[in-house]
Amino acid sequence: GAGVSQSPSNKVTEKGKDVELRCDPISGHTALYWYRQSLGQGLEFLIYFQGNSAPDKSGLPSDRFSAERTGGSVSTLTIQRTQQEDSAVYLCASSLVGRPAPGNTIYFGEGSWLTVV
């Protein structure tokens, strides 16, 4: 696609429910990232996928968070048993490769705004 696409744009869920957030990266981009943007913590790295390599999950805040990337393209971030502190904007990004290089820009989507009530 022309840009990184995320859905849903906004999601309100009840505490304790599971939610799935979807990211469709730019076609041909091998690297995919999830970041979380919250008022208290700012922007935090969550997880990174690069091709068929094992993902870097070091930023996931708890075992309630998981993510997968199917076929090297679309990614889904799942939050189980949501808590109020999970309320945030979840940003997905993609790039041609997963390292700094001339012309290798990280492109972000518009994010999914999650509110847990």
Rounded to 5°, the CA angle 37-34-59 comes to: 80
Q: Which is nearer to another protein, 16 or 51 (CB)?
A: 51
State the residues that interact with another protein by CB under 8 A.
31, 33, 35, 42-43, 45, 48, 50, 56, 59, 89, 91, 93, 95, 98-100, 105-111, 113
SS3 20: strand
Q: Which of 36, 84, 39 is nearest to 60 (CA)?
A: 36
Rounded to 5°, the CA angle 58-63-67 comes to: 65
Q: Which is nearer to another protein, 19 or 34 (CB)?
A: 34
- Residue 97 vs residues 11, 16, 104, 115: alpha-carbon distances, Å: 30, 36, 7, 32
Q: Which is nearer to another protein, 14 or 103 (CB)?
A: 103
Least separation in angstroms between residue 105's CB and another protein is 6
Q: Which is nearer to another protein, 40 or 71 (CB)?
A: 40
Least separation in angstroms between residue 115's CB and another protein is 14
